[in-house]
A and B are shown apart, each in its own frame.
Chain A
Amino acid sequence: MKLPWKRSGAPSNSDGDDRLARNVLWKIADSPASISAFSSIIAIVSGLIVGFVIMLIVNPGDAVPGFLTILFGWLSEGSRSVGDMLYYGVPIVLTGLSVAFAFRTGLFNIGATGQLTMGAFTAVYIGVNWGFLGAAHWIVAVLGGMVAGAIWGGIAGLLKAFRNVHEVVSSIMLNYIAMYLNTMLIMQLIYNRQYARAVSPLPSALIPTWFLRDVFPGSSVNVGIFIAIGLTVLLHIILNRTVFGYELKSVGFNREAAKYAGMNAKRNIVLSMTISGALAGIAGAIMFLVAGRHLEPVNQLMQEGFTGIAIALLGLSAPVGVFLAGLFYGALEQGGYYLQLFDFMPEIIDIIIAVIIYFSAFSLFIQAYVAEYLRRRLGAEVELPQGATIK
């Protein structure tokens, strides 16, 4: 009798274990989505391993407890640390959504930083000066930030659509314009000389905390988390259920086919960049309409925009995935905060988070690698997920 996994005349490498492994690999190879998810997990795990190795080199004695703190620190103080995890996660979720949305239309918005800066400035300006708005003050300030970000993103979109200027080039340039413009406008319009920073927004402009103050006592979490959840759901619906999302994805997957089908690629490019910018603008508003956080006239690009790129990749450019990846980032950030309890230089926290994010950004590369590995192993033409073209 022939056993199903032992075929006669089979080469020696086709033993039972190998057969099982191949079946698992086939499952993974079966759909681009599972290759992507698999790659994201590999990215996170390898980032964590390298981070751990760095900790071992710096301080072998505390490496293990320190590493566990990074991973699980966000649970250490119960609702307070969970609340702070959410607080750290929200801006990153939003910049991640910003980059991811542009990705889905086949555009690489590397300018989330600039859009975020413009949003932050506009929100703070409204927050400082438009106290007459009363209860609607913070809402208008956030909307102002959104519009500013949208304009900044839209410029890159217009340049791409009508002048064929690559969005990566134009949005990098716009990042620097936003950075210097921010410094200039703060100095001219809302400068607090005493502290060398922007004037604090009025209390009515700060993002409210509602009942969250009671649920997560002592933490900084505010209703920004609801905005992030709402936008995640909204983008999920737009991308998956609407005609508009259908068009955007068609353009993103195959611009030639979209043109063939009579879609207006230019309009879609401009809209996609505008929406992407708006999301980054909201992130900027939510980051700075907070007590104790101030815009400063320093010529420095804000990192949150770039982190958003990694988060978008890690979240596979799907709104829900990006939301989870953003919260993962928040958890690391929060865990890193508690790392100060051990004998680590404060900078090591940033280095380790950077390593993990860095590896996440590799997930595209890892996707290509995984697909190539599967192709060799199984001999099949494994399809690369959208975007994974780096070889």
Chain B
Amino acid sequence: MEYIIEMDKITKEFPGIKANDQVDLKLKKGEIHALLGENGAGKSTLMSVLFGLYKPDEGTIKVRGKLVSISNPNDANKLGIGMVHQHFKLVHNFTVAENIILGHEDTTKGFLRYENAVSKIQNLSKQYKLKVDPSAIIENISVGQQQRVEILKMLYRDAEILIFDEPTASLTPQEIEELMKILRSLAEEGKSIILITHKLTEIQQVADRCTILRKGKYIDTVDVAQTSNEELAEKMVGRKVVFDIEKAPAQPGETILKVENLWVRSIHSNTDRVQGVSLDVKRGEILCVAGIEGNGQSELIHGLVGLTPLSKGKILIHGEDITHATTRERNLSGISHIPEDRQRHGLVLDFSLEYNLILNSYFEKAYQRRGFLAFNSIREHAQDLIQQYDIRSSHGPLSLARSMSGGNQQKAILGREIDHGSDLLIAVQPTRGLDVGAIEFIHKQIIAERDRGKAVLLVSLELDEVMGLSDRIIVMYGGELVGEFDPQTVSENELGLYMSGARRRGVA
């Protein structure tokens, strides 16, 4: 019995698209097997088939050599398959132990045998070196520890086959290293691991073999040790990929945006999530706000664009005070904004693409005549941007935004905001969840904006992006700026220490 899982010729068809077309995946016992592919390549569909969420149209699944039919996640659990989702599924005000046993409680006559559970958790945590306190409340522990809870949850259910869906998305560099160690020790203990990812460096670090999918099709399964990053990327994208972001040195001009001692209140509680931030962005430079998610970056931007009222502070654009201006006035005074959540803020998903492309300019003379929408110029505008920014969709300007892929949704927003011609471009996690090709495109466009003499304020959680794109880096932790760096001289490790709050220094 060489393979613990054999997925053979899996085909799954959705209206208009073959999400999986004759895909094979063979997992050896005790190996770490990476599943690599761009967004929409069919990785999630394949895992959903394995996990019993979708029924395949064709193909067979063998587990431990036996043909099985998995029709829901419970079947999968019974076969020893467990999954750590990208977004953890934990109850925030429960303890670690309560979360682990949830749905799998050990009871006598309806009473919980809590002590047994705790000791089993402690044993597991010792055996696999997953340090975590069973009595801690979830909301009080770090994201990295929460992930360990998710892993323990699978182990508690005696899972032999562990699926990790983009596990490093919200971790710091230090936590990622820790996770890589955990993965390796799990494999050494005989667990078989499927690692879904599009980060090549992680694959090189831990994976034994790697299966690559592209546009729903099976491309290849390779030995990672004998394959270079470039080869992997080429197989994934289908063409050669430029890894390094090429850009000329910045030539900063006059200050466009100046922020003085900004305090922004959280929408949910009565505390200030941004505490005394001062910064300025100059023409022709990309200033990057780095930090781990939830350290006040979103609130900072919402305060800047007028979506959240300020507690105190001052915002100047071109020296003009816009502290009390409305969002519309700020947009007109020269702010373009690529929002963090493209579906919640950036688009009206039930509108067509052409309507979305005029979302913050529909009132301008070009798009209306006496209060009536000027359909012809709206259409022309859409066609221009579609061509210029290579926005692909099923029905051109009339495609429903909802039906477009994430990358194309983002290109639409990017095109709309750049086309606006503002002097300041605020881009918040502009490449979140996008595939290599789209990331490359968006990075190029942002650099082109800088080279056209625009000021760019970039908020990013991805260290690669921070290092590659920015001309200046400021790190935000706990609502404050804790350091300013030159990307040429700082190391990723050092940034990581500031991002996790381990170190800080005053910002000029």
Q: Tell me the A residues contacting B by CB distance below 8 Å.
A: 7, 9-11, 14, 26, 29-32, 241-244, 246-247, 249-250, 253-254, 256-264, 378-381, 383, 386
Task: Give the chain A neighbours of B94 by CB distance below 8 A.
Answer: none
Contact B371 A260 (CB under 8 A): no
Task: Give the chain B neighbours of A254 by CB distance below 8 A.
Answer: 344, 347-350
Q: What are the 5 A-B residue pairs with the smallest beta carbon separation, nearest first? A: A262-B328, A262-B327, A380-B14, A261-B360, A260-B345
In the assembled complex, B75 has its CB within 8 A of some CB on chain A:
no
Task: Give the chain A neighbours of B350 by CB distance below 8 A.
Answer: 32, 253-254, 386
Which of A29, A242, A259, A260 lies in contact with B373, CB distance below 8 A?
A242
Q: Taking CB as reference atom, which chain B residue is nearest A30? A: B15
In the assembled complex, B55 has its CB within 8 A of some CB on chain A:
yes
The CA-CA distance from A160 to B351 in the complex, in Å, is 25
Q: 13 other contacts beyond A249-B351, A259-B345, A261-B360, with CB at 8 A cut-off?
A: A246-B355, A250-B348, A250-B351, A250-B359, A254-B350, A258-B348, A259-B327, A260-B337, A261-B327, A261-B359, A262-B360, A378-B14, A380-B15
Contact A379 B12 (CB under 8 A): yes
Known contacts A243-B363, A243-B368, A379-B14; decide if A260 and B58 are in contact (CB<8 Å).
no
A390, chain B: closest CB distance, angstroms: 17
The CA-CA distance from A246 to B375 in the complex, in Å, is 12
A116, chain B: closest CB distance, angstroms: 29
Task: Give the chain B neighbours of A250 by CB distance below 8 A.
Answer: 348, 351, 359
Contact A379 B54 (CB under 8 A): yes
- The contact string, 1 if C-beta is below 8 Å from chain A, for chain B 383-400, is 000000000000000001
Q: Interface residue count for B (Cβ, 8 Å)?
A: 40
Task: Give the chain B neighbours of A264 by CB distance below 8 A.
Answer: 326, 328
Interface residues of B in 294-317 (CB under 8 A from A): 305-307
Quick one: which of A31, A242, A260, A264 has the most chain B CB within 10 A? A260
Which of A243, A249, A256, A379 lies in contact with B344, CB distance below 8 A?
A256
Which of A7, A257, A378 lies in contact with B359, CB distance below 8 A?
A257
Task: Give the chain A neighbours of B331 by CB distance below 8 A.
Answer: 261-262
- The contact string, 1 if C-beta is below 8 Å from chain A, for chain B 314-350, is 0000000000001111110000010100001111111
The CA-CA distance from A242 to B54 in the complex, in Å, is 43
Which of A241, A244, A253 lies in contact with B349, CB distance below 8 A?
A253
Task: Give the chain B neighbours of A378 by CB distance below 8 A.
Answer: 14-15
The CA-CA distance from A26 to B14 in the complex, in Å, is 9
The CA-CA distance from A257 to B401 in the complex, in Å, is 13
Task: Give the chain A neighbours of B403 by CB distance below 8 A.
Answer: 383
Q: Taking CB as reference atom, which chain B residue is nearest A240? A: B373
Contact B347 A383 (CB under 8 A): no
Task: Give the chain A neighbours of B156 by CB distance below 8 A.
Answer: none
Contact A257 B58 (CB under 8 A): no
Task: Give the chain B neighbours of A249 by CB distance below 8 A.
Answer: 348, 351
The CA-CA distance from A9 to B9 in the complex, in Å, is 10
Which of B54, B330, B371 lies in contact with A244, CB distance below 8 A?
B371
Q: Taking CB as reference atom, which chain A residue is nearest B59? A: A9
Q: Taking CB as reference atom, which chain A residue is nearest B375? A: A241
In the assembled complex, B372 has its CB within 8 A of some CB on chain A:
yes
Q: Tell me the B residues contacting A by CB distance below 8 Å.
A: 9, 12, 14-16, 54-55, 57-58, 305-307, 326-331, 337, 339, 344-351, 355, 359-360, 362-363, 368, 371-373, 400, 402-403
How many residue pairs bridge A and B at CB < 8 Å? 93
Contact A246 B373 (CB under 8 A): yes
B306, chain A: closest CB distance, angstroms: 8
Contact A257 B327 (CB under 8 A): no
A324, chain B: closest CB distance, angstroms: 22
Task: Give the chain A neighbours of B400 by CB distance below 8 A.
Answer: 31, 383
The CA-CA distance from A251 to B450 in the complex, in Å, is 33
Known contacts A246-B355, A257-B345, A257-B347; decide if A7 and B15 are in contact (CB<8 Å).
no
A297, chain B: closest CB distance, angstroms: 43
Contact A257 B346 (CB under 8 A): yes
The CA-CA distance from A32 to B401 in the complex, in Å, is 13
Task: Give the chain A neighbours of B329 by CB distance below 8 A.
Answer: 262
Q: Taking CB as reference atom, which chain B residue is nearest A237? A: B372
Task: Give the chain B neighbours of A259 by CB distance below 8 A.
Answer: 307, 327, 345
Which of A10, A26, A31, A242 lies in contact with B57, CB distance below 8 A?
A10
The CA-CA distance from A237 to B382 in the complex, in Å, is 22
Task: Give the chain B neighbours of A9 by CB distance below 8 A.
Answer: 9, 58
Which of A29, A32, A243, A256 lies in contact with B362, CB distance below 8 A?
A243
The CA-CA distance from A259 to B403 in the complex, in Å, is 23
A164, chain B: closest CB distance, angstroms: 13
Task: Give the chain A neighbours of B330 by CB distance below 8 A.
Answer: 262
Contact A253 B348 (CB under 8 A): yes
The CA-CA distance from A256 to B305 in the complex, in Å, is 13
The CA-CA distance from A379 to B359 in the complex, in Å, is 33
Task: Give the chain B neighbours of A381 by CB distance below 8 A.
Answer: 14
Contact B371 A257 (CB under 8 A): no
Known contacts A241-B372, A250-B359, A257-B359; decide if A26 and B15 are in contact (CB<8 Å).
yes
Q: Taking CB as reference atom, which chain A residue is nearest B17? A: A380
Contact B373 A243 (CB under 8 A): yes
Quick one: which of A26, A249, A379 has the most chain B CB within 10 A? A379
Task: Give the chain B neighbours of A31 by CB distance below 8 A.
Answer: 400
Quick one: which of B306, B339, B344, B350 has the most chain A CB within 10 A? B350
Q: Taking CB as reference atom, which chain A residue is nearest B345? A: A260
B326, chain A: closest CB distance, angstroms: 7
B15, chain A: closest CB distance, angstroms: 4
Contact B58 A11 (CB under 8 A): yes
Task: Give the chain A neighbours of B326 by CB distance below 8 A.
Answer: 262, 264
Q: Taking CB as reference atom, which chain A residue is nearest B342? A: A257
Contact A10 B15 (CB under 8 A): no
Known contacts A26-B15, A246-B373; decide if A10 and B58 are in contact (CB<8 Å).
yes
Task: Give the chain A neighbours of B347 by CB distance below 8 A.
Answer: 254, 257
The CA-CA distance from A32 to B349 in the complex, in Å, is 12
Task: Give the chain A neighbours of B372 by CB distance below 8 A.
Answer: 241-243
A318, chain B: closest CB distance, angstroms: 13
Contact A257 B344 (CB under 8 A): yes
A265, chain B: closest CB distance, angstroms: 10
The CA-CA distance from A26 to B371 in the complex, in Å, is 38
Contact B9 A257 (CB under 8 A): no
The CA-CA distance from A273 to B372 in the complex, in Å, is 21
Contact A383 B14 (CB under 8 A): no
The CA-CA distance from A236 to B507 in the complex, in Å, is 56
Task: Give the chain B neighbours of A29 by CB distance below 8 A.
Answer: 15
Q: Taking CB as reference atom, which chain A residue is nearest B332? A: A262
Contact B362 A260 (CB under 8 A): no
A27, chain B: closest CB distance, angstroms: 9
B340, chain A: closest CB distance, angstroms: 10
